[in-house]
Structure 1
Amino acid sequence: MARTVLAFKSYENHAEVLVRNYLLADPFIPYSSVLGGMLVFKLVYDLTQLISTFYFRTYSSLTKIQRIEWNNRGVSTLHAIIISVTSFYFVFWSDLFSDHNFSGIITLRNSHLSTFALGMSVGYFISDLGMICWLYPSLGGVEYIVHHALSGIAVAYSMFTGEGQLYTFMVLISEVTTPEINMRWYLYTAGLKRSGAYLINGVMMFFAWLVARILLFIYMFYHVYLHYAQVMQMHIIGSLLVFSVPSVLGIMNLMWFAKILKGLKKTLAKSQ
């Protein structure tokens, strides 16, 4: 028994050294985190498929493409929850990007943890974009490809260079709307479009979208305006990404918000 415990501690120590010296070492963080994000994508996809097969009757009656989308949305939901919570922490709670922290200009600040979190998100965007393109247009049209491509490029740049991570996390908070979107698809696919849950989900999606993808973007643009001089100290590519990517995503958010509002009005009218 004692030998087993000692052997276990030895393996544990070796694992800690491996993680500290390689996976979380400065040169390897971007690559290990992206690879980790892709592996987690595959693992959660398979777990969603396994769990759904045994616990959801609707799943077995779906077409092959619908089952793939079902599994894919399970992955996107988990990613959205993790990255939105992480982003909220860095933007509003952590001192890393606080104006009261005087350790360098705000647009060049980063940490091992912030870089690793962005890398995991890049791994997800690469995997999800690959599936969207592979099964195009079953999992989404051109707007999804544009959204994922822009998001992936901006997040990857911020991860590799360490520039503009604050604004990257501000944009990633908008992922908080993804679980509501996915739940709406699940309810619709399960034939519960006329249920109370579908109505409640629509209302939640409306307010989440308003706060995370409209008001928060306005706040971000205002923050960029206040810190314009620091933004311009970034590399020209970084500065262009700060101005262009949120602007394009913001326009797309407004277009989708109009559709959400229109759909909510129809749903409320039918419920009366």
Structure 2
Amino acid sequence: MDANFGPQERILWPASVLAGIVICGAVYEMTRKVSSRCFKGYSRLSHMQKVEWNNRGFSTFHALVAAAISFYLVMVSDLFNEDVNNGIIIDRKSWLSDAMFGVSIGYFLTDLTMILWYFPSLGGKEYLLHHGLSMYAIGLALLSGKAHMYILMVLFTEVTTPFVNLRWYLDVAGQKTCNLYLYNGVALFVGWLVARIILFVYLFTHMYLHYDQARSIFTLGFYSLVAVPSTVSVMNVFWFWKILKGMVKTLSRRRKHSENGKTD
């Protein structure tokens, strides 16, 4: 593997990773201050619940930024448009994709540190696996300058994170019976289906149709490109099944409650 480490990268990469860490810390503190002033129930939360509450604040922020930039680079810009740019897709990159990868590594490092520090309160072994694979794949793409499109597509799946976090917030706040909890659950189901199931089908299809390009990557990169998304997709299917069961359970409970209300 030829390291993609020029004069620009020597400044951009460390700066973006550091920026990711600093942003996480800043949003964590902002979430704490805003929540303590604007949400009455925040003061009644346990210490660990407050930590997770604030942690989910910066995970939501990262998810929104990562999804927006990934969508822009893959769908809006001409960076990966085969009809516009010359050169194979697997080799295309930009300073913005480099910067986003650096910020994401900073985020995953921060979140992983907190998960390990409070283990297993903020997440179990599956979170360690997810974050480890994410940092490995992003780091490899950053160092090699290869497969940025595929990594951005995987990074776009973070768009479902705000729905996951809102579900947790409502649960902790004792709002599981409100309509917002139900609507958010449906949105989470649809979003997960589109962003973490259907999108991965498209990713693997695109990779298959451009197999000659994917195979041109150095050996470790090629096998990582196949193995990491495959592992993440299995995890996504597992979590999707849990989301589906949770949504069915919630809808069934709502239906029974509605029927009991009519009977009364």
Does the TM-score normalized on the shorter chain lie above 0.5?
A: yes
Name structure 1 gaps, 5 residues minimum: 1-23
Tell me if structure 2 keeps the 8 A contact 1:30–1:115.
yes
The whole-number CA distance in structure 1 between the counterparts of 2:97 and 2:167 is 31
Query: Offset at 1:25?
Result: 2.5
1:152 aligns to 2:141 (yes or no): no
Distance between the aligned counterparts of 2:253 and 2:44, measured in 1?
28
SS in 2 for 1:146: helix
Is the CA contact (8 Å cut-off) linking 1:30 and 1:160 kept in structure 2? no
Q: CA deviation at 1:228?
A: 0.6
- The secondary structure found in structure 2 opposite 1:27 is helix
Superposed CA RMSD: 1.0
Matched, 1:135 2:115: no
Quote the offset at 1:174 in angstroms: 0.6
**Structure-2 residue corresponding to 1:249:** 232
Moved over 4 A (4+): none
Q: Which residue of 2 aligns with 1:56?
A: 39
Percent identity of equivalent pairs: 47
Q: Which residue of 2 aligns with 1:196?
A: 179
- 1:85 alignment partner in structure 2: 68
TM superposition shift of 1:118: 1.0
1:123-155 deviations in whole A, cap 9, x for unaligned?
101110111111100000000110011011101
Q: How does 1:18-29 map to 2 (within 5 A)?
A: 25-29=8-12
Q: Deviations over 1:190-239 (max 9, x none)?
A: 00011111111110000000000000000000000011100111111211
User: Counterpart of 1:231?
Assistant: 214
Superposition deviation, residue 255 in structure 1: 0.5
In 1, Cα distance between equivalents of 2:42 and 2:146: 43
Q: Paired residue for 1:211?
A: 194
CA contact (8 A) 2:79 2:85 kept: no
Helix, strand or coil: the match of 1:99? Answer: coil
Q: Aligned partners of 2:17, 2:218: CA distance in 1, in Å? A: 23
Cα distance per residue 1:7-58 (max 9 Å; x no partner): xxxxxxxxxxxxxxxxx93322111111110111111111111111111111
Q: Which residue of 1 aligns with 2:81?
A: 98
Which position in structure 1 is the counterpart of 2:162?
179
For 1:58, the aligned partner's letter is G
CA contact (8 A) 1:97 1:109 kept: yes
Q: Is the 8 A contact 2:28 2:55 kept in 1?
A: yes
Contact persistence 1:88–1:173 (CA under 8 A)? yes
Which moved further from structure 2: 24-33 or 172-181? 24-33
Match 2:241 to one of 250, 258, 269: 258
Instruction: State the AA in 2 paired with 1:41.
Output: C
The SS at the match of 2:233 is helix
Amino acid in structure 1 at the alignment position of 2:77: S
Equivalent residue number for residue 44 of structure 1 = 27
Tell me the secondary structure at the aligned position of residue 96 of structure 1: coil
Write the letter of the residue equivalent to 1:88. F
Partner of 2:260: none
Aligned to 1:222: 205
TM-score by length of structure 2 reads: 0.92
Q: Distance in 1 between matches of 2:106 and 2:86?
A: 29
Q: Which amino acid aligns with 1:114?
A: S
Q: Which amino acid aligns with 2:250?
A: T
Q: Which amino acid aligns with 1:146?
A: L
